[in-house]
Amino acid sequence: MDELGLFPLQVVLLPTERIPLHVFEERYKELIGECLDAEAEFGLVYADDDGVRDIGTRARVERVLTRFPDGRLNVLVEGGERFHLDELTTGRSFHTGLVTPLDDEDDPADAEAVTRALDSFERLREATGSDVEAPAGAARQLSFELAGKVELPADDKLELLVELSERRRLHRVAELLDAAVARAERARIASERASTNGRVDLG
Q: What is the pLDDT of residue 201?
A: 54
Q: What is the pLDDT of residue 24?
A: 96
How far, in Å, CA of 153 to CA of 136, rounded? 24
- Residues near 122 by beta carbon (within 8 Å), at least 6 away in sequence: 134
Identify whether residues 184 and 153 lie together within a single domain: yes
Identify whether residues 63 and 124 lie together within a single domain: no
In a domain, 203, yes or no: no
Q: What is the pLDDT of residue 130?
A: 87
Identify whether residues 96 and 118 lie together within a single domain: no
Q: What is the pLDDT of residue 197?
A: 61
Task: Give the residue numbers spanning the domain of 139.
Answer: 111-197
CA distance readout (Å), 196 to 36, 189, 190, 192, 199 = 54, 11, 10, 6, 8
Number of domains making up the chain? 2
The kind and range of the H/E element at 24 are none
How far, in Å, CA of 162 to CA of 200, rounded? 40
Per-position pLDDT tens, the chain of length 203? 899 999 999 999 999 999 999 999 999 999 999 999 999 999 999 999 999 999 999 999 999 999 999 999 999 999 999 999 999 999 999 999 999 999 999 999 999 999 999 999 999 999 988 888 888 777 889 999 999 999 999 999 999 999 999 999 999 999 999 999 998 888 777 767 766 665 555 55
Crossing angle of the two packed helices 154-162 and 166-197, in degrees rounded to 10: 160
